[in-house]
Amino acid sequence: MQQPTKGAALRRYVPLLAVVAVVAVVAVVAAVTSGPAADGPGDTAGGSAEGGYTFQTEWGGQVTLPVGVLPFRVAEQLGIEVDWPETCDTGRGAAAVPTYFAPECYAPFNGDNGGSTWQGVTGDSIKVVLYQAPDEDAILDAISGAVTDDTPDEVSATYQQLVPFFNEYYETYGRTVELVIYEASGTAIDEVAARAAAAEIAEDIKPFAVWGGPAITTAFNDELAARGILSFGGGGSGPEYFEDRDPYLLGITMSSWQFRSHLVEFIDKQLVGRPARHAGDPALASEDRTFGLVYLDNGPSAAASAEQLKTGIEEAGGTLAVTATYRNPLDVSAEAPGVIARLKDAGVTTVMLVGDPLSPATFTRVATDQGYFPEWLVAGSPLADTTVFARTYDQQQWRHAFGLSTLVARSDPQMSNGRRLFRWYNCENPPASDTIELIYPNPAVFFSALQGVGPNLTPENFRQALFNANPTPRGITNPSLSWGTPAKGRWPQADYQGIDDVTMVFWDAEATGPDENGRVGSGMYAYVDGGKRYLSGEWPEGAERAFEPDGAVTLYEEPPASERYPEYPARCGS
């Protein structure tokens, strides 16, 4: 296919961009492994003809590994001698790569892997498609233009240069991943084009899995699932949506219903019944909080989510006085004055904007024009919790913004995980320098799951490897991920998406430093308690700690002490 022209980079990995913001997730995965935690239960037993080694997981489940799968910790516990490859640091039991979140070593596989176990799988290869959105998409162009100058050629080159790293350092049971770039023609909201693209991929390329897809329609996922192809990194409207497409749809980012659970708990425990002390208007700041919600009306699922949020706030004893919608993220100038007037007239002290990262610029400007200065609660609007976008909002308003973020406490952009590992392996900066941290998550999680699947690679076994795995370690500069049943104790429903924990942020209008792309300027998000992250059910009772400088961090210039890692000679120099 012909390469498209410049200027469209972020829209090419739309599910990670437009559904949930991950631009500052410096390492989306640690070691997704079926092995028990180093300090957790270790009841293991030998394998059998039907399966491999059995152990008790740290979350209480008993798991039998697939035949041929042997994580480092299981080998150590059973006293099994393994000739570990040079890519394994046996002192850590993890890959010899310079990151605290290095994946666990798995014993080299030398047997018969079964050859073609599924479409797109042979004895020596796994075909994976990377979905790249079309060259022109007005909504996504507007978003990407604020974030990146990366070109499509640079994006493709970065993916292609990352895949060899993962093929070398992860156990893939005699196979290597073959990446095929698919350049789509339909926009993010074109259901017909999305379904046609999925059909073309299925019929002409015949892959095992697809990374990414259109942002705002689920038709692409629906068609892939109907054709038995794994859609990896996509999203959906709720747990039932994933269950209906099991095992063909798995995500990395937090789902909307999971984030809503965090938000309601936070509002319940720290905001309801307390004065809106961060409002810019002293009259509002003296009032107990009254909430308003403004959301992008892009279909029934958005309305249903808004209604569920309202119910949660009311059950917590709060009041959602105004619910308003808008339809066009590119131009809310006609709708914003009326929406802001409604919020002001109703005495709303605390406003939640949920939808896209562009429209807050207009809503906050209009609020200033109308002399309305409430609190702004960061409540899950994609990329609105990034410094690069927040700097475009009216600073008289956004200096009163605080709330929750799935993003991790930021590190120096030059030291971020994907960028650092790329340089270490290739001895050069990634071609897609702005968006390396968006590129890194899909292959990182995908290859980690492959290690737990074993030689019999099928979508069902892939999903089961993630469901069997222990949650990834909890940290500050890395989210904790898990997939699986409620037995893991994190969610009351089956979890098909990865990130589970969130942190609290506030906008420090006086701070100066780099945004997510390294551009120095004024205004940065600060992370409360150094970026401490909470699982659902863990939020403490008491007044929130927004705008308290004690313990807050805007940027880690080096990893926190608890997340330091050993250095290794550059791979490209060996």
Give the per-residue pLDDT at 11. Answer: 31
- From 475, 477, 525, select the one nearest 505 (Cα to Cα): 525
Q: Which fold has domain 10-254+414-488?
A: Rossmann fold (3.40.50)
> With 50 as the cut, is the pLDDT of residue 30 above it?
no
pLDDT band at 56 (very low <50, low <70, confident <90, very high): confident
Give the per-residue pLDDT at 44. Answer: 38
**Which residues are CB-contacts of 155 (< 8 A; sequence separation ≥ 6)?**
9, 12, 13, 132, 431, 432, 435, 439
- From 262, 311, 312, 256, select the one nearest 490 (Cα to Cα): 262
> With 50 as the cut, is the pLDDT of residue 559 above it?
yes
pLDDT band at 317 (very low <50, low <70, confident <90, very high): very high
> With 50 as the cut, is the pLDDT of residue 87 above it?
yes
Residue bearing the bigger pLDDT, 60 or 164: 164
> With 80 as the cut, is the pLDDT of residue 138 above it?
no
With the CA atoms of 94, 96, 100 and 101 taken in that order, what torsion angle do they form, in degrees rounded to the nearest 10? -60
365 SS3 class: helix
pLDDT band at 454 (very low <50, low <70, confident <90, very high): very high
pLDDT band at 13 (very low <50, low <70, confident <90, very high): very low
pTM summary value: 0.86
Q: Does the fold of domain 256-405+501-561 match that of domain 10-254+414-488?
A: yes
Give the per-residue pLDDT at 188. Answer: 62
Out of 3.40.50.300, 2.70.170.10, 3.40.50.1820, 3.40.50.2300, which CATH number does the structure's domain 256-405+501-561 have?
3.40.50.2300
End-to-end CA distance of the chain: 36
- Domain edges within the chain: 10-254+414-488, 256-405+501-561
What is the average pLDDT across 29-43? 38
Give the per-residue pLDDT at 282. Answer: 98
> With 50 as the cut, is the pLDDT of residue 173 above it?
yes
> With 90 as the cut, is the pLDDT of residue 24 above it?
no
Single-letter code of the amino acid located at 433: S
pLDDT band at 498 (very low <50, low <70, confident <90, very high): very high
Residue 537 C-alpha from the chain's centroid: 20
- Which of 144-153, 262-271, 535-544 is the least confident region? 144-153
Give the per-residue pLDDT at 573. Answer: 56
Average pLDDT, the chain: 86
> With 50 as the cut, is the pLDDT of residue 572 above it?
yes
Tens of pLDDT, residue by residue over 212-269, are 888 667 889 999 999 999 998 777 767 888 999 999 999 888 988 999 999 999 999 9
Give the per-residue pLDDT at 140. Answer: 57
User: Tokens representing 55?
Assistant: 């152990």
- CA–CA distances in Å: residue 88 to residues 68, 365, 447: 18, 54, 16
Give the per-residue pLDDT at 37. Answer: 36
Residue 472: DSSP 8-state? P
> With 80 as the cut, is the pLDDT of residue 12 above it?
no
